[in-house]
């Protein structure tokens, strides 16, 4: 995969004082929820609707037709980083999720506590889903007793239940390390240093670490071993600021989204969670930044919960809050989602995501409503998520002409 479009935009980017705001209502898009209609159709959104009449509408494809994105790829696309070019290992995403500040010397892995029988075979890949407190107690034991490899610092972080994160920090570490989770019970954990990983210095370190863990946890009843997967180095990508010549700020109340922002070098300036606070803090952040990413979690959370009325209510809360953001007069305001989360599916989905862009130089306003139907007919069309910031930059006069 080539980053052709991203490099083109990067080569044309120029600075000015205009402000671009990207308001992400997580999981905003919907299907028709088995005949009930989408949340946007049903929500009463007088402010969004008035805005839609003065805005461009469209649909965004986060990754590709039919492909459901996780939160990482969903946001990277919106940030102008093609998720198929800029792929992040599972371990890195887990580290972002617990807001661990990764450096370029780090290798991160997702851990599961598991249960082994006396013969060393896995009987439960999730150690009976131990409570968070147990997770913390056992990790404390490991931290206290384990001898790290020379020159390497280890970080053990609780995620939730049986899930945790391990970060190795040192010079010259590699991530050529095998998953040790065999994705099956009745067999022992795999070795991290098996072929083709056996030539990796770091895989040998991980093998030693896991041997030590097995000894330390030998007397535990449930969480008597760990399984590691998705060993990955923090990526070394062009920062958002150098890529787009925008001075960015992130306004996000949840760790995962702060983490993805930091992955592209976007500093987190505020951590609001309610719609009113997200809009107020985004307006404030506009003062010293030419780009503000503002994240609202609850449209996704209510979708994941399968609660359509609650998703509608969360949209209406944002509708009530948006005038405060408009008052700060962003030159370009984008309102969209990182993916769809239909309550009838209780999960992320592949459906293209509604987008509204209020900007100068539009071809008129597109609709009376901000919903999936109006967006399908809008002037933006259906485009990849990675193209929406460049389009906003065009409207904000932040892109040079291509060729003479």
Residues near a second copy (CB under 8 A) are: 1-2, 4-5, 8-9, 12, 30-32, 37-38, 63-73, 83-84, 87-88, 90, 93-94, 97, 342, 344-345, 347-351, 361-364, 372-373, 376-377, 379, 381-383, 387, 390-394, 399-404
Min separation Cβ 79 and a second copy, Å: 14
Taking the least distance from each CB to a second copy, the nearer of 72 and 248 is 72
Taking the least distance from each CB to a second copy, the nearer of 196 and 364 is 364
In 3D space, the residue among 216, 222, 149, 214 whose CA is nearest the CA of residue 188 turns out to be: 214
**15 Cα distance to chain centroid:** 27
E strand or H helix at 8: helix 4-12
Spatial separation of the C-alpha atoms in residues 209 and 178, rounded to whole Å: 14
Taking the least distance from each CB to a second copy, the nearer of 87 and 271 is 87
Min separation Cβ 48 and a second copy, Å: 18
CB contact at 8 A, 223 and 138:
yes
Tell how strand 20-25 and strand 291-296 pair up: parallel
Taking the least distance from each CB to a second copy, the nearer of 196 and 403 is 403
What angle do the packed helices 4-12 and 388-395 form, to 10 degrees? 20
**Backbone φ, ψ for residue 168 (5° rounding):** -100, 130
Helix (H, G, I), strand (E, B) or coil at 305: coil
Q: Quick one: DSSP state of residue 349?
A: B
Spatial separation of the C-alpha atoms in residues 269 and 249, rounded to whole Å: 6
Taking the least distance from each CB to a second copy, the nearer of 199 and 377 is 377
Min separation Cβ 250 and a second copy, Å: 19
* Residue count (the chain): 404
Min separation Cβ 156 and a second copy, Å: 19
Question: Which residues are CB-neighbours of 270 under 8 A, at least 6 positions away?
Answer: 251, 281, 284, 285
Taking the least distance from each CB to a second copy, the nearer of 221 and 401 is 401
165 CB-contact burial (10 Å; exposed 0-12 / middle 13-18 / buried 19+): buried
Q: What is the DSSP string of 159-188?
A: EETTEEEEEEE-TT----------SSSSSP
Min separation Cβ 278 and a second copy, Å: 23
Q: Which tokens belong to 257? A: 């989204």
Taking the least distance from each CB to a second copy, the nearer of 200 and 336 is 336
Min separation Cβ 350 and a second copy, Å: 5
Taking the least distance from each CB to a second copy, the nearer of 150 and 364 is 364
Min separation Cβ 333 and a second copy, Å: 16
**Backbone φ, ψ for residue 270 (5° rounding):** -165, 155
Taking the least distance from each CB to a second copy, the nearer of 1 and 118 is 1
Min separation Cβ 320 and a second copy, Å: 26
Alpha-carbon dihedral 96, 203, 118, 222, rounded to 10 degrees: -10
Question: Which residues are CB-neighbours of 167 under 8 A, at least 6 positions away?
Answer: 95, 100, 102, 106, 107, 108, 109, 154, 155, 157
Taking the least distance from each CB to a second copy, the nearer of 323 and 381 is 381
Min separation Cβ 211 and a second copy, Å: 28
Taking the least distance from each CB to a second copy, the nearer of 18 and 222 is 18
Min separation Cβ 348 and a second copy, Å: 6
Spatial separation of the C-alpha atoms in residues 11 and 393, rounded to whole Å: 13
Spatial separation of the C-alpha atoms in residues 58 and 374, rounded to whole Å: 8
E strand or H helix at 381: strand 381-384
Question: Which residues are CB-neighbours of 50 under 8 A, at least 6 positions away?
Answer: none
Min separation Cβ 97 and a second copy, Å: 8
């Amino acid at each position: 995969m080539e980053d052709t479009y991203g490099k083109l935009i990067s080569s044309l980017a120029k600075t000015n004082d205009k402000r671009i705001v990207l308001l992400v209502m997580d999981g905003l898009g919907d299907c028709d929820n088995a005949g009930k209609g989408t949340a946007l159709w049903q929500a009463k959104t007088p402010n969004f609707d008035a805005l839609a009449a003065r805005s461009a509408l469209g649909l965004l494809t986060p990754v590709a037709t039919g492909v459901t994105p996780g939160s990482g790829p969903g946001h990277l696309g919106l940030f102008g980083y093609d998720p198929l070019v800029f792929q992040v290992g599972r371990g890195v995403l887990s580290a972002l999720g617990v807001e661990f500040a990764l450096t370029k010397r780090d290798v991160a892995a997702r851990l599961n506590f598991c249960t082994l029988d006396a013969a060393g075979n896995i009987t439960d890949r999730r150690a009976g889903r131990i409570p968070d407190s147990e997770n913390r107690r056992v990790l404390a034991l490991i931290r206290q007793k384990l001898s790290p490899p020379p020159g390497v610092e280890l970080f053990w972080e609780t995620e939730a239940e049986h899930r945790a994160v391990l970060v190795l920090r040192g010079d010259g570490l590699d991530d050529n390390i095998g998953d040790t989770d065999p994705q099956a019970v009745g067999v022992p954990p795999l070795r991290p240093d098996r072929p083709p990983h056996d030539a990796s210095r770091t895989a040998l370190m991980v093998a030693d670490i896991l041997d030590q863990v097995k000894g330390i946890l030998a007397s535990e009843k449930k969480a008597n071993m760990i399984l590691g997967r998705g060993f990955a180095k923090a990526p070394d990508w062009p920062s958002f600021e150098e890529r787009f010549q925008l001075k960015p700020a992130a306004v996000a109340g949840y760790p995962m989204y702060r983490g993805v922002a930091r992955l592209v070098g976007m500093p987190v300036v505020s951590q609001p969670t309610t719609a009113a606070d997200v809009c107020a803090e985004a307006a404030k952040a506009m003062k010293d930044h030419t780009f503000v990413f503002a994240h609202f979690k609850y449209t996704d959370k209510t979708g994941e919960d399968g609660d359509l009325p609650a998703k509608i209510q969360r949209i209406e809360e944002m509708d009530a809050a948006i005038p405060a953001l408009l008052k700060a007069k962003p030159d370009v305001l984008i309102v969209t989602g990182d993916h769809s989360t239909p309550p009838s599916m209780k999960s992320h989905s592949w459906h293209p995501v509604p987008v509204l862009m209020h900007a100068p130089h539009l071809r008129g306003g597109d609709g009376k409503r901000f919903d999936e139907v109006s967006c399908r007919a809008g002037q933006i069309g259906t485009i990849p998520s990675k193209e929406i910031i460049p389009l906003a930059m065009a409207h904000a006069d932040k892109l040079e002409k291509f060729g003479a």
